[in-house]
Structure 1
């Protein structure tokens, strides 16, 4: 007959096995969720960006941060706008519709010229856009602002977007890592409100005779994050004339 000690030991072993199985299940679930957000091999390819110029900035805590601005012919260019057209677009309500395709590389540790450790990010853009921006200070400053915002949002780092400088005698800091870019673009997503939809889709929203009393609700569709490729959409819909009932469980 099994003793009390043997029974307790067996119970502990069974509990340990169940906990191990649950851990493996959660690990597999987390891995599958991460993979679902990653592009498939058919939708992506590795590239080796070429150096362009290097930015130096600092975090709020004073840590040095360098950004290698790189170029690649495999990255598409944004719409070709003049400075005047871009300035008008920035001042308008449709500023979020202008996007600069760019690849934000993972941070990597390097050593600066003083022998101190620093963090470096590689940002790659179209070679065509880089060539246009090279001698256009307005366009360059606009791009740097967007790139800094993208890095801050993606990697949750607190950098001063207004205090940066381009290094004169260095095109890049450390090394430039290989990057993976999408070969199949995501659907173009932009923030828009119901007034824009009614203006741009006037024919689609024209009510028929049986729908003359219908009211188009006020709504806003927001892409999150607003920088780079959005992960999801958030729809905010105002339905003041609707009644909602909560059913008991």
Structure 2
């Protein structure tokens, strides 16, 4: 076996150790209460928010019930100035979590038939778009694009917000996919040592992280924001997976760590009030195939996140 072949074999072995739940690995089931045939969903009844009226390209009346709920995640909390700067980009990197329900037939105030759509966002973001015209305008452009892409319709960009009603018709329940909560596997000291030794050879390039470990906080009152580095493989081009390494020097056991994984977001909390981490990922990941492993020797939590195809 040549040195080059040996190197590739070592890299493959290392990556297999990182991909804890790759298809067919048989390592563990990260989601014991969920199968591929029966994904877990939460049924949410939205609360009325605001109702806007517009028309489609055929001249038919369209009503959009913009609803709210505490069970939807909020987008990243940024200022109006930061949003304006993002809008200068060709493709603004700002995601708004929302749930778009199926259309339902309703009657307008004159008794004529019309179509209504229910769109659900978080309570916090609803308050923001009501307060800020800049966020409201950006949200409406994203909302229009979402409706048109999902249902193959074309909507007029002129719209009116109804003053005397918060919704048209009865709001329908939404089925929201439950948050993925990867079970954290603790590595034995022997396995941790083997992985640490292999990691001394740089196989993966680093991506910039949105985490600031120097965030100001009140001692013993506000949870610390841990240091996090996001790396990718392969190191050039579109990645096949990401690896997030979170340093938790005060954590002794993974049992004290709560971890939620979204499509493009990591939320971590270590008890009692030690660490809180809430960051967005540079790519969408496959939650069901992701893994988490805590190294008790280095106190590093490693998340292995397969990236959705481009």
Indicate if the aligned counterparts of 1:56 and 1:67 stay in contact, CA closer than 8 A.
yes
State the alpha-carbon separation in 1 of the partners of residues 111 and 76 from structure 2.
41
How far 1:114 moved relative to its partner?
0.6
| Structure with higher helix content | 1
1:110 Cα offset (Å): 0.4
**Structure 1 position 158, deviation (Å):** 1.1
Distance apart, 1:39 and its partner CA? 6.3
TM-superposed CA distance for 1:155, in Å, is 0.8
Match of 2:64 in 1: 67
Q: Distance in 1 between matches of 2:99 and 2:147?
A: 10
**Residue 131 in 1 paired to residue 94 in 2?**
no
Report runs of 4+ in structure 1 exceeding 4 Å deviation.
36-39, 197-201, 216-221, 229-235
- Asked whether the equivalents of residues 39 and 182 of structure 1 are also in contact (C-alpha less than 8 Å), the reply is no
Q: 2:158 aligns with which of 137, 158, 163?
A: 163
Q: TM-score, normalised to structure 1's length? A: 0.59
Other-structure match for 2:82: 85
Secondary structure at the residue paired with 2:67? strand
Q: Any gaps of 5 or more consecutive residues in structure 2?
A: 1-34, 182-204, 210-229, 241-283, 287-306
What is the CA-CA distance between 1:173 and the residue it aligns to?
Answer: 0.5
Q: TM-score, normalised by structure 2?
A: 0.48
Distance 1:92 1:66, change over 3 A: same
Q: Distance in 2 between matches of 1:63 and 1:204?
A: 49
| Equivalent residue for 1:178, pick from 169, 173, 179 | 173
Alpha-carbon distance in structure 2 between the residues aligned to 1:104 and 1:58: 18
Match of 1:100 in 2: 96
Per the alignment, residue 47 of structure 1 pairs with 44
Larger Rg: 1
Aligned residue-pair number: 172
Selected match of 1:111 from 107, 111, 129: 107
CA contact (8 A) 1:102 1:124 kept: yes
**Following TM superposition, by how much is the alpha carbon of 1:230 offset from its aligned partner in structure 2, in angstroms?**
9.8
Q: Distance in 1 between matches of 2:88 and 2:115?
A: 34
Q: What CA distance in whole angstroms lies between the structure 2 residues aligned with 1:155 and 1:59?
A: 12
Tell me the alpha carbon deviations over residues 121-170 of structure 1, each in whole angstroms, 9 at most, x when there is no partner. Answer: 0000000111122111111111111111101100111112x211111111
Check the 8 A contact 2:55/2:155 in 1, yes or no: yes
Partner of 1:15 in structure 2? none
Deviation at 1:233, TM superposition (A): 5.3
Distance in 1 separating the partners of 2:96 and 2:166:
21
Query: SS state of the match for residue 69, structure 1?
Result: strand
Distance change >3 Å, CA 122–CA 198, structure 1 → 2 = same
1:66–1:119 Cα contact (<8 Å) kept:
yes
Say if 1:38 and 1:83 are closer, same or farther in 2 by CA, change over 3 A: farther
Query: Secondary structure at 1:101's aligned position in 2?
Result: coil
Measure, in 2, the Cα distance between the counterparts of 1:37 and 1:58.
39
Confirm or deny that 1:120 pairs with 2:120.
no
Q: Please give the alpha-carbon distance, in whole angstroms, between the structure 2 residues aligned to 1:204 and 1:137.
A: 37
